[in-house]
Structure 1
Amino acid sequence: MKKYKVGYTTGVFDMFHIGHLNILKRSKEQCEFLIVGVTTDELVSYKNKKAIIPHNERMAIVEAITYVDKVVPQENMNKMEAWENYKFDVMFVGSDWKGTEKWDKFEMQFKEVGVDIEYFPYTKGTSSTLLREALHKVVYFSEPVLK
């Protein structure tokens, strides 16, 4: 028997990598049913960037992961609205958010409705930001393909 019945996590999942897979795997290890919110292209702008992979393709990639039971679009940052829609009993999130004002507030709100927050460490050495930077260097410094 797993610790939680329904788990929820969100992410952009742009340029899917091992860190993404790790959080989905670790989340599923703790819950019977895992719902994953994939950030819409419009909402990605909160990170001051554009997604490289379109939202519908990122949804399809996450949906294909065996640890994931349901994929939903994440259209805003309102976690309580997500809870009202999906009634999860735990939210999984990266440890870089732990102790921030924003997540301390979420912890208080979720505690009132009996929802736990589990923080997972990010996978060291890989991130979409690092992949984006490497891709930019390759594109910026390489010779044009067509002349």
Structure 2
Amino acid sequence: MKKIGYTTGVYDLFHIGHLNLLKRAKLECDYLIVGVTTDELCEQRKGKKPIIPFFERMEIVEHIKFVDEVVPQVNMDKFEAWQNLKFDRMFVGDDWKGTEKWNQLEKQFAEVNVEIIYFSYTTHTSSTKLREILDKI
């Protein structure tokens, strides 16, 4: 049976950490769906708009060979995303592991046989670090 995977991100200032996450996720599933966070949701959650506009970020992610489908992430409700996409595995950064929110999501997803797989982040590169460098220029 085909395993469908799902992950989300802003993917602003696309870098090797993003690529590594998508590559690792694809190794864990047959079909990888990636939710790209809209500008509005990013601004609502982080208080700032991404540097790269939403449709450009969508196009960048669509052209990554490990990605089979790209969808807009318009809210943070992962269970709603599952209801729409019916994935079997969800990939997320390990900085969320053990938090109250994700412990609850693990229980909720276990009821519908969805496995949450945590990946470690690339520590030496992040969009936040890149943005900080750009702000100094």
TM range (shorter): over 0.9
User: Would you say 1:42 and 2:35 are equivalent positions?
Assistant: no
Runs of 4+ in structure 1 off by over 6 angstroms are none
Q: Which runs of 5+ in 2 are unaligned?
A: none
CA–CA distance in structure 2, aligned partners of residues 96 and 34 of structure 1: 21
- Residue 120 of structure 1, CA deviation: 0.2
Q: TM-score, normalised by structure 1?
A: 0.90
| Percent identity of equivalent pairs | 68
Q: TM-score, normalised by structure 2?
A: 0.97
CA–CA distance in structure 1, aligned partners of residues 13 and 112 of structure 2: 34
Partner of 2:21: 23
Q: Deviation per CA, 1:23-82: give whole Å up to 9, x if none.
A: 000000110000000000000020222110000000000000000000000000000100
- Residue 113 of structure 1, CA deviation: 0.5
CA–CA distance in structure 1, aligned partners of residues 47 and 121 of structure 2: 21
Partner of 2:68: 69
User: Would you say 1:78 and 2:83 are equivalent positions?
Assistant: no
